[in-house]
Amino acid sequence: MKERSIIPYLFLAPFMLAFFLFFVAPVLYSVYLSFLIKKRTGTFGVATDVFGGFSNYIRAFNDSDFLASFGHIVVFGIIQIPIMLALAAIIALILDQVTGPLGRFFRSAIYIPYTIPSVIAGLLWGFLYSRNLSPVNYALTALGQEPFNFLSPLPVLLFSIGNIVTWTWTGYNAITLYANLQTISRELYEAAKVDGATGWHVIRYIKLPLMRPALLLTFIFSIIGTMQIFSEPFVLRGIGFIPINITPNTYLYQIAAQDANYSYAAALAIIVAVVTFAFSGFFLRMVNRSNV
Amino acid sequence: MKRFLIAGMALTTLASVAVAQSFREPTFPATLNNGQPIELTYWSWVPNMDKQAALFTQKYPNVKIKVENLGGGQSGTYPKLQTAIKAGSGGPDVAQVEFGYIPFFASTGGLVDIGKLLPANARSFFPAWTWAQVSPDGKSVFGVPQDTGPFAMIYRKDIFDKYGVKVPTTWDEYAAAGKALYDKSGGKVKIGNFFSTFAPWFTALVWAGGGQMWSVEGDGYKQTLNNAVSKQVANYWGDLIKKGYVSTLPAFSADFWNAVSAGQVATSMEAAWGTGSFAGSLAKNPGEGALYRVAPLPQWKKGQRLTTGNWGGSTAVVTKQAKNPQVAATFALWLMTSKTSLVAGWNGAGLFPAATSGLGLPELAEPSRDPAKFFGGQNVAAIYGQASKSVNTNFAWSPWAPTVDASFQKQMDRAVKGEITFEAAIDAWQEETVAKAKADGYNVK
């Protein structure tokens, strides 16, 4: 009897162990780090970490570079996420209609960008965006125009990054939505047809409402993904100046990996996580409420 | 077989005796690590460093060196190095660190004070100013100087010839030449490029003009990024950029090399190791090297005694994660002072030796080997040697170098776009950096 009650926990143990080691422990360590500040003695002394209370958090809320990074990412998300999801939904609806080898081909083709590592993708796009070597600018100069600067001003830069993100993730989201569409019983369509529904009616009154859970899922994932954008702007630095606070994560990188201020970076990371959590929770709630 | 080996060893000894007469190098131990096999990891972004380091294994067959190139300084090796230091594992035994970053890494506590591991006379093999840079407090020694980056001007001889413009020797002449090239080429040829994403490049120009950016005052620092020379340099280049005479392509980018290669950039202010970068990046185009030459850095006053600055220049530091700090320190010293190694470093990467004896090596002038070969056989080492002797030797650094670099890029970007003047950008650079350094716990004014 006793043995039996232990067994489930034994099965769970490997997961719990890994979960604790790789998820819970680092989070706890970050929380601990975030309360430390650097104490320096003399001019060339080694800095020591001492308890600093909430001073890292206070600093964060007064750090205009950090706060601005949220502004960038919110503007980015408001424009990029709807465009990407609308595209993904359209592609999913089309894929759902197309059968045969052509359908299979496009299903794979649309997914390919997602399988390319984002650093490689960033390098490829970086080539398209570079001042002299970009084919776009090559054409412009040949036509006697000034080369276009893809990295500046800020809205253009956000657009350029958005391009890369959309290119990478539209296929992934489309496949998720497509899988959802495939689960809809075909009998529903037949019944609709018998009732005289047109193709548009089927999409508007059957497919879209039934896609809702999947759309919501991709939407939440997109919000989280947007908050974590890092490698695209980071790789683009090779071709020109990218503000270090273009996203919260690039700014975090500067603080941790360049300035070596790990405790301040930990505080920033926790703030980013809380904001992400709040954003996703807020939208989830809003959508659920309108559902009722 | 054995006899051959003995004969070989005898020859090597003879050869080193012959060399010792003209070239002074430290006495190295006969064996290391008691002859037991050991492998050192060395992080360095110097081109061909693997070949140079392998020469150490020829001398000490039981010591293997694994060279890992993690990319240039701040955009490659440093983030990884300090993460490894923080983590307490995963770091190398020996690592390349630029002079300007020695105070920063010393403050992380991850470097070994190698003063006692090196021979007592180690400092006597280096110019005093380079030793002062690896030993900023005058007590601890955090690295062995590798190379210096005295500043000079690389230029396209063919472009100046084609448009009949004289190669400038002063900044006034440089501006005039910029206008001439711009007018005669219809705006196609820029005289130079402003590296707005590289603070150390700008710093070298200020350094050359005698500006001082950091100094120690009591137990704190004083930072003067916005000193008079700094503003003069910024205004000068800002004016040329505004007029369209100077481009602002990011340093070391494909765009930059492409423009240089296409003859759109007539000069570039480069450190000695820049000759290696030019040879390495452009040698693919046959015959192109013959177009390039090196001239002394333009001066502010005509006929003044040459003064110049320093961009980069590196050291080898030993980390606290070194398996055997003694072996690591000996490797670092050998790599930076032995003749074999210094010649390989010059030919492989244009490393201009920090070691005093290295400057006089006849091999540096050898026209049939790179980088001299790339520059049409010109004795570029002579120009950089002269520059090296003209470097203001009192220059000191701060431990918040990464902050200085990041802020420079941000403010210069605003200036290049015309949002603020270059002078205002320099003031903003000073202000922002002091505020950040203070927030990070530094005592700075």
C-alpha pair distances (Å), A90 with each of A85, A86, A95, A101, A174? 9, 6, 9, 20, 8
Question: How would you label B266-302 residue by residue, b for 16+ Cβ within 10 Å and e otherwise?
Answer: bbbbbbbbbbbbbbbbbeeeeebbebbbbbbbbbbee
Give the C-alpha separation, B274 to B200, whole Å: 13
Nearest to B107 among A47, A239, A241 (CB): A47
The answer, for A64 touching chain B at a CB cutoff of 8 Å, is: no
- Portion of chain A with pLDDT greater than 70, in percent: 98
Q: At what angle do helices A208-227 and A154-182 cross, to 10 degrees?
A: 140
**Do A107 and A92 touch, CB atoms closer than 8 A?**
no
pLDDT tens digits, residue range B351-367?
Answer: 888 888 888 888 888 88
SS3 B233: helix
Structure tokens that stand for B141 in this block: 């020694």
Q: Do B441 and A38 touch (CB under 8 A)?
A: yes
From CA A185, how far away is CA B303, in angstroms rounded?
A: 89
B373's CB contacts (< 8 A; 6+ apart) are: B279, B289, B367
- Per-residue pLDDT, B113: 92
The mean predicted confidence, pLDDT, of chain B is 87
**What is the bridge-based pairing of β-strands B63-68 and B267-271?**
unpaired
Distance CA B280, CA B260 (A): 13
Q: What does the alpha-carbon distance between residue B313 and residue B63 come to, in Å, rounded to a whole number? A: 26
Interface test with B, best of A132, A152, A234, A263 (most B CBs within 10 A): A132
Q: How far is CA A189 from CA A181, A198, A203, A207, B323, in A?
A: 12, 10, 10, 9, 71
Question: Which of B79, B196, B410 minimises the CB distance to A258?
Answer: B79
Q: Could you say which residues from 242 to 261 on chain B have a Cβ atom under 8 Å away from some Cβ of chain A?
A: 249-250, 253-255, 258-259
Q: In the predicted model, is pLDDT for residue B441 greater than 80? A: yes
Confidence of residue B289 (pLDDT cuts 50, 70, 90): low
pLDDT of residue B423: 96
Helix (H) or strand (E) holding B90, with range, is none
Length of chain B: 445
What is residue B218's DSSP assignment? T
* B387/chain A closest Cα distance in angstroms: 30
pLDDT at position A171: 93
Is the pLDDT reported for residue B4 higher than 70?
no
Q: State whether residue A135 sits within 8 Å of chain B by CB.
A: no
Asked if the Cβ–Cβ distance from B255 to A47 is below 8 Å, we say no
pLDDT reported for residue B287: 67
B176: left (phi over 0), alpha (psi -120 to 50) or beta: alpha
> How much is the pLDDT for A292?
44
Distance, CA of B399 to CA of B100 (rounded, Å): 8
Per-residue pLDDT tens over the stretch B134-179 = 988 888 899 999 988 899 999 999 999 999 999 999 999 999 999 9
Residue B223 host element (H or E): strand B220-223
Q: Which of B440, B442, B443 to mutate: most A Cβ within 10 Å?
A: B440
If you ran DSSP here, which 8-state letter would residue B186 be given? T
What gap in Å lies between CA B307 and CA B299, rounded to an integer? Answer: 7
Strand-pairing partners, residue B66, are B41
Select from B78, B82, B221 the residue whose CB has the most chain A CBs within 10 Å, as the one to mutate to test that interface: B82
- Tell me, what's the ipTM? 0.84
Determine the average pLDDT of the residues in B277-283: 82
A260: phi then psi, degrees, rounded to nearest 5 = 60, 30
Q: In which residue are the tokens 């006379």 written?
A: B121
CA distance A236 to chain B (A): 11
Which of B102-116, B178-192, B280-294 is modeled with the greatest confidence?
Answer: B178-192
Q: Over the stretch B216-239, which tens digit does the pLDDT of each residue have?
A: 888 888 999 999 999 999 999 999
Residue among B103, B400, B402 whose CB faces A44 most closely:
B103
Name chain B contacts of A42, Cβ cutoff 8 Å: 219
Among A42, A127, A241, select the one facing B197 at the smallest CB separation: A241
Backbone angle region of B190, left / alpha / beta, with phi > 0 → left and psi within -120 to 50 → alpha: beta
What is the per-residue pLDDT for B230? 96
B255 neighbourhood in chain A, CB within 8 Å: 130-133, 239-240
Closest Cα in chain B to A60: B439
To the nearest whole angstrom, how far is the Cα of B74 from the nearest Cα of chain A?
7
Q: What percent of chain B has pLDDT over 90?
A: 48
Are B441 and A258 in contact (CB < 8 Å)?
no
Q: Rounded CA gap, A62 and A56, in Å? A: 10
- Asked whether B3 and B336 are in contact (CB, 8 A), the reply is no
Average per-residue pLDDT for chain A? 89
Q: Which positions 112-171 of B are in contact with A (Cβ < 8 Å)? A: 136-137, 140
Residue B42 sits at the chain A interface (C-beta within 8 Å): no
Structure tokens at B440: 């990070």
Q: A257 — contact with chain B (CB < 8 Å)?
A: yes
- Would you tell me how many other CB atoms lie within 10 Å of the CB of residue A131? 23
The HSE-up count of residue B271 (CA atoms within 13 Å, CB side) is 27
Planar angle of CA A46, A48, A50, nearest 5 degrees: 165
Window 139-158 of A: residues touching B by CB (8 A cutoff) are: 152-153
CA of B343 to nearest chain A CA: how many angstroms apart?
32
CA nearest to A243 within chain B? B410
Chain A residue with minimum CA distance to B140: A44
Report pLDDT for B33. 82
CA distance A130 to B196: 16
Angle between helices B254-261 and B272-282 (to 10 degrees): 80
Chain A / chain B CB contacts < 8 angstroms: 100
Q: Determine contact, residues A69/A251, Cβ cutoff 8 Å.
A: yes
Report the predicted TM-score, pTM, of the whole model to 2 decimal places: 0.85
Contact: A39, B441; criterion CB under 8 Å:
yes
* CB nearest B441 (choices: A37, A237, A243): A37
pLDDT of B267 higher than 80:
yes
Mapped to the 3 state alphabet, what secondary structure does A212-262 carry?
A: HHHHHHHHHHHHHHHHCCCHHHHHHHHHCCCCCCCCHHHHHHHHHHHCCCH
Which residues, including other chains, have CB under 8 Å from residue A109's CB and lie 6 or more apart?
none
Q: Verify whether the Cβ–Cβ distance B399 to A44 is below 8 Å.
A: yes
**B287: helix, strand or coil:** coil
Burial class (CB in 10 A: 0-12, 13-18, 19+), A147: middle
If you write DSSP's letter for every residue of B299-355 in order, what string do you get? BSSTTPPP-B-B---EEEEEBTT-S-HHHHHHHHHHHHH-HHHHHHHHHHH---B-S
Instruction: Report residue B19's pLDDT band, with 50, 70 and 90 as the boundaries.
Output: very low
Say if the Cβ atoms of B403 and A243 lie within 8 Å. no
Q: What is the pLDDT of residue B10?
A: 46
Residues in chain A within 8 Å Cβ distance of B134: none
Contacts of B113 (CB under 8 A, 6+ apart): B140, B141, B142
Q: Which of A43, A45, A261 sits opposite B440 (nearest CB)?
A: A261
- How do residues B92-104 score in pLDDT, each as one tens digit? 999 999 998 998 8
Q: Does the distance separating the beta carbons of B417 and A153 come in below 8 Å? A: yes
The H or E element that residue A263 is part of is: helix A262-291
Q: Which residue of B has its CA nearest to A134?
A: B255
State in Å, rounded, how far the first CA of chain A is from the last one. Answer: 45
Contact residues for B191 (Cβ-Cβ < 8 A; gap 6+): B174, B177, B178, B181, B182, B240, B245, B246, B265, B266, B267
Q: Taking a contact as any Cβ pair under 8 Å apart, which residues of chain A between 13 and 52 contact chain B?
A: 37-47
Q: For the residues A93-110, what does the mean pLDDT come to?
A: 87
- Residue A3: the pLDDT is 58
pLDDT the model gives residue B3:
47
Confidence of residue B254 (pLDDT cuts 50, 70, 90): confident
- The helices-and-strands tally (H runs, E runs) of chain A is 14, 2
Residues ≥6 apart with Cβ < 8 Å to A97: none
